[in-house]
Amino acid sequence: MKRILIRISPAIVVIAAVAAYIWWHQRENRITFVRYEEFGIDIPENYKIHGIDVSKFQKDINWQAVKQMQVKKVRISFAFIKATEGITRQDASFRQNWEKAGKAGLVRGAYHFFYATRDPLKQAINFHNVADLQSGDLPPVLDIETSNNQPAAVIRSTAKIWLEEMEKVYKVKPIIYTNIHFYETYLGTEFDRYPLWLAHYYQKERPRSDRAWLFWQHSDIGRVNGIRTTVDFNVFKGDSTDLAKLCIP
């Protein structure tokens, strides 16, 4: 039997390799949302670690019930809790939420709602006085999502002061919470070294941003045992070991 040699041009090999890479990349980045009636929302199953964020608007929370709820492999592992706002405001439910979430065994994080129109040092003091974070807690969070008609330069300069003060205190880089539009319009590459928590919901897709992020707030209408109101749902890009490494040492 004669052997027939088939020559494949290098161009075809390259095209096939590129096509294979594109297929693999799209498969890896495809988000699978699955409806969980118990949680009242569609949840992206590509992530293992799920969490919520709360404030006084969730009223009295039964944190043991939050911790114990599990549907298939989905359960609440972490919670961001509002601590302060501006230079004087303190969330009325923070202390209760903070203590009970900790006792329930959840990884806790505290956040500060920031105003570029207020003294950033006084805002940092307000947060630190209320949320005395400890080893094992998530880094402090700067919730920055409103411009208050301030130019980008002012927003960046004031935000940096708050972030740098918190880094001095806790020896870790604080987390920035915002949305893609605000980040790209007012913050930009100067803040790329900080861990990012992005708000991006009502769309069944990952946040479309070139900026790497660690947390994704994907819904604001979730339901959890122990909370009478709707609540924001989040995922963490990583596993439990990665989450532990992110926490204050």
Residues classed as catalytic: 145
Chain position carrying tokens 């972030």: 163
Which runs of E-coded beta strand occur in the chain? 33-36, 41-44, 49-54, 70-71, 74-85, 89-90, 107-113, 141-143, 175-179, 196-199, 215-222, 231-236
| HSE (side-chain half, CA atoms, 13 Å) at 209 | 24
| HSE (side-chain half, CA atoms, 13 Å) at 101 | 28
Q: What region, left, alpha or beta, does residue 125 occupy, with left being phi > 0 and alpha being psi -120 to 50 degrees?
A: alpha
Nearest to 185 by CA among 242, 221, 144, 244: 144
